[in-house]
Amino acid sequence: MTFGALSDRTRRVLACLVKDYIDSGEPVASATLSRRPGLGVSSATIRNVLAQLEDMGYVSQPHTSAGRVPTDRGYRYYVDTLLETRRASRDISTVEARLREQAGEAPLFDQLLSSASHVLFEVSHHVGFAIAPSDMHAIFQRIEFVPLSASRVLVVMVARGNHVSQKVIELNEEIAPSALTQAANYLNAEFAGLSLDEVRQAVLARLEEQRTLYDELRAVALTLARTTLEGLESPTAVFIDGASSLADDAEDANGVSMSTLRTLLRMVEEKQRLVRLLDAYLDGPGVAVVIGAEHPDPQLHACSLVVATYRDGARRGAVGVIGPTRMHYSRAISVVDGAAVAVARFLRDQN
């Protein structure tokens, strides 16, 4: 329970044990550790150290006559030292190259994030994900109305960063194609460069004015804009790839049981759950790691999550991976960090 009271040797033993366990997946014996170069002491000495570590809750035994396994707290200690020392060495080059290859030169925003999740999966062999920033802070660039039928219009809205969204609007009354063109021209001239949130506010304000001073064209344009912006923000775009890796995780039963697998597959379907789960970790910059029981959701106690935020102007999104607690953290951290940087660069280059 005493904190930070780990001697240098104790720390080295813990680090060695965690590394060994991550590589082998088997409980690590004192004899195994004593054979490792770096700590030149006998297995008996290591046993003492391990007993100490066990008292402090860093490691545990699956059963009396077995080796030691890191606890969540053990992983936490290991990861924290990693995060300190690793800061500099991000894995950008590989990730960025693969992202460019996957997404192409000028990807749509959605394609970029989808590619990012795919690359994260391929490189880490864990479930990769990418979350878009809230749409409401995107910068409005252009809107187009495509007449589908007399009373039905397809709206295409483009925001900065090749961010396209569409919506079909059902009108109460018929509207001429030329009126639609004029409406689009008006809105483009008026609002380009504002955030969608600002646009929404401006539109509502003008609709208020409009009640008194009467202008057919503007009324139509503003009404269309309001309808378009309605309900735009609710579902945050989420891209997930690599669910098949979960089968591997469950197969060599890394504590990833069938029920955990099901939970994760559900999450892949209802992506919004992931957004809610991540909400708490999206403040700080850099990489955050959530290990096992640190998750609020008990179903995920067998999983760890590595997540980094990226910036797109004033907006903030996230990329990351999800895997078993027995995860190759050092690799995952540098890959996720690299992906966040690569995505941000891509977006910067586009604008």
Length of the chain: 351
> Which position has the token pair 């590595």?
306
Longest dimension (CA), the chain: 90
> 57 or 285, CB closer to DNA?
57
Q: Which pair of tokens denotes residue 145?
A: 């109305």
Which residue, 46 or 175, has its beta carbon nearer to a second copy?
A: 175
* Inter-residue contact 123 to 107 (CB < 8 Å): no
Comparing CB distances to a second copy, the nearer of 16 and 184 is 184
Q: Which of 8, 105, 283, 349 binds a second copy (CB under 8 A)?
A: 105
The enclosing H or E element of 241 equals strand 238-241
Nearest to 157 by CA among 113, 187, 131, 186: 187
- Does the protein bind a second copy through residue 251 (CB under 8 A)? yes
Q: How far apart are CA 93 and CA 7, in angstroms?
A: 37
Residue 335, exposed/middle/buried by CB under 10 A (0-12, 13-18, 19+)? buried
- Which of DNA, a second copy, none does residue 168 bind to, with CB < 5 to 8 Å depending on kind? a second copy
Binding-site partner at residue 44 among DNA, a second copy, none, CB < 5 to 8 Å by type: DNA
Query: Is residue 158 part of the contact set for a second copy (CB under 8 A)?
Result: yes
CA dist 66 and 68 (Å) reads 7
Rg over alpha carbons for the chain, rounded to the nearest Å, is 26
Which CB atom, from 105 or from 173, has the smaller least distance to a second copy? 105
Least separation, in Å, of the C-beta of 276 and a second copy?
17
Give CA–CA dist 107/212, Å, rounded.
44
Which are the contacts of 349, defined by CB distance < 8 A and separation ≥ 6? none
Complete DSSP assignment for 137-153: GSBEEEEEEEEEETTEE
Task: Pick what 4 binds: DNA, a second copy, none; C-beta below 5 to 8 Å, kind-dependent.
Answer: none
From the list DNA, a second copy, none, partner contacted by residue 52 (C-beta under 5 to 8 A by kind): none
Piece of the chain touching a second copy by CB under 8 A; list 81-89, 261-269, 311-319, 321-329: 261-269
Q: Which does 201 bind (CB under 5 to 8 A by kind): a second copy, DNA, none?
A: none
Residue 68 interacting partner from DNA, a second copy, none (CB closer than 5 to 8 Å by kind): DNA
Question: What are the tokens at 285?
Answer: 């910059």
The partner in contact with residue 200, picked from a second copy, DNA, none with C-beta cut-offs of 5 to 8 angstroms by kind, is none
| Contact predicate 308/330, CB 8 Å | no
Q: Any contact of residue 148 with a second copy (CB under 8 A)?
A: yes
Task: Assess 266 for contact with a second copy (CB under 8 A).
Answer: yes
Of 35, 262, 276, 348, the one binding a second copy (CB under 8 A) is: 262
Structure tokens at 196: 């969608």
Q: Which of DNA, a second copy, none does 43 bind, CB closer than 5 to 8 A by kind?
A: DNA
Binding residues vs DNA (CB under 7 A): 26-27, 29-32, 40-45, 47-48, 50-51, 54, 61, 63-68
Q: Is 269 in the site for a second copy (CB under 8 A)?
A: yes
Q: Which of 162, 254, 325, 330 binds a second copy (CB under 8 A)?
A: 162
In the complex with DNA, the residue whose CB is nearer, 27 or 292, is 27
Residues 6 or more apart in contact with residue 218 via CB below 8 angstroms: 186, 206, 210
Question: Contact, 256 vs 249, CB < 8 A?
Answer: yes
Binding site for a second copy (CB under 8 A): 105-108, 141-142, 144, 146, 148, 152, 154, 156, 158, 162, 164, 166-170, 241-244, 246-248, 250-251, 258, 261-262, 265-266, 268-269
